[in-house]
Amino acid sequence: MITDWTLWLEWFIKSLVWIFALLGGFAYLTYYERRALARIQTRVGPNRAGPFGLLQPIADAIKLIFKEELSPAKAYKFIFFLAPILTLVPSIVIAAVIPLGPPIQLFGRQINLVLADVNVGVLYFMAIAAVAVYGIVLAGWSSNSKYAMLGGMRSTAQMISYELALGISLIPVILLANSMSMVDVVKAQGMLWFVFLQPVGALIFWIATLAEVNRAPFDMPEAEQELTAGYHAEYSGMKFALFFMAEYQKMIVICAVMAVFFFGGYLGPGVDKYPLLGPVYLFIKVFLLLFAMIWVRATWPRFRYDRLMSFGWKVLVPLSLAIVFITATGILLAEETGNPMWMWAIPAASVIAGLIPVVTIYRTLKRLSYERA
């Protein structure tokens, strides 16, 4: 019989493992990004601190720890101190519902490789992800600086615009899995990943998550050329590092969530026989998705702010509503007729629906170019 203290000990150990994994992942994600950007842009990247520059994240951490911390004289001190913590904590808490692999037998008992199998895991993810913006807004407001305040306001508007498309794009996942538990979502992809049934939904989710973590080309809350670093312009030392840490940890968690929702999570060849392969497959998928984020930053220019907002409200939101209708219709027809081939109408109709705004935008830009000529 499993006693209460052993269960609490299991949760405590799994929590520590997740926290240290995210902290280590944050440190070496910065190295991964700098090396990948250097390769894409024909540069060298960090290569001096340690072999192949592998000690560069440690050097950066030491530098930030001992760097002098300054704060504006008229800042709201308590909120100014609290804002980085409010930004960092949600990036860690989201990881609680991500399944790393199937259950394993260890020390004579079954260990579930998920911290909390919540039956509303998708809703939990959406709720916690939306909380992080409060830290950014409060950072901008408490700095008592116009540039920082504008960055915080941009982050709020951007979150409202793209969080809506993000949430709606997850409804097809819930419909296909018939559950809001992330563990059930992974199990439902045992035969086929959801990215093949709903590729447009995966693309919308991907774009919205780039805006969610303020990554290029959606980094308008920071925008050095316009706002001198935006909401964290007045932060330095470890307070600045906490914002940096929150962004990169959220990148890791968001990529893990996308792998769970659309790419089968920990599923892969041999997982049923060797459960420890599950975390390995999940790591590979997260690694590749992170590279896609880095690649986008290296190649895409920043949006103009009004076009960023228009793209969210006029393209992503209507398109995400359309794919919900298409997915629900395809599932209903498959159940009513008993013919599963109707499910393959979902990706076909979704792609057609996705081409409509693309063609419209292309024709509009072409018309404007003719008018300017």
**Cα–Cα nearest to 167, from 139, 128, 219:** 128
pLDDT at position 140 is 82
Which residues on adjacent β-strands are paired with residue 276?
none
Give residue limits of the domains in the chain: 4-304
**Cα–Cα nearest to 157, from 320, 311, 315, 360:** 311
For the chain of 373 residues, list the mean pLDDT of each consecutive stretch of 10: 69 85 86 90 85 86 81 82 86 88 80 84 86 82 82 81 88 90 90 89 89 80 70 79 85 92 90 88 93 89 80 86 88 83 79 75 61 51
Residue 49 tokens read as 């601190």
Compute the distance between CA of residue 118 and CA of residue 93 in angstroms, rounded to an integer. 13
**Cα–Cα nearest to 93, from 118, 112, 111:** 118
For residues 185 and 192, the answer to whether their CB atoms sit within 8 Å is no
pLDDT at position 258 is 93
CA of residue 305 relative to chain centroid, distance: 21
Rg (CA), the chain: 22
255-259 contacts at long range (C-beta below 8 A, 24 or more positions apart) = 255/285, 255/286, 255/289, 255/290, 255/293, 256/95, 256/98, 256/282, 256/286, 257/94, 257/98, 257/125, 257/182, 258/202, 258/205, 258/206, 258/209, 258/289, 259/285, 259/286, 259/289
pLDDT at position 270 is 86
Could you identify the residue written with the tokens 């920990």?
266
Compute the distance between CA of residue 24 and CA of residue 38 in angstroms, rounded to an integer. 21
pLDDT at position 260 is 93
Residue 60 tokens read as 């950066």
DSSP 46: S
**Cα–Cα nearest to 132, from 249, 291, 230, 21:** 249
316-320 contacts at long range (C-beta below 8 A, 24 or more positions apart) = 316/162, 316/165, 316/204, 316/207, 316/208, 317/161, 317/164, 317/165, 317/168, 318/357, 319/165, 319/200, 319/204, 319/353, 319/354, 319/357, 320/164, 320/165, 320/168, 320/169, 320/201, 320/204
Compute the distance between CA of residue 156 and CA of residue 210 in angstroms, rounded to an integer. 15
CB neighbours (10 Å) of residue 314? 14
CA of residue 363 relative to chain centroid, distance: 32
Q: Is 110 helix (H, G, I), strand (E, B) or coil?
A: strand
Compute the distance between CA of residue 169 and CA of residue 326 in angstroms, rounded to an integer. 12
For residues 302 and 216, the answer to whether their CB atoms sit within 8 Å is yes
Residue 329 tokens read as 């219709």
Amino acid in the structure at residue 188: A
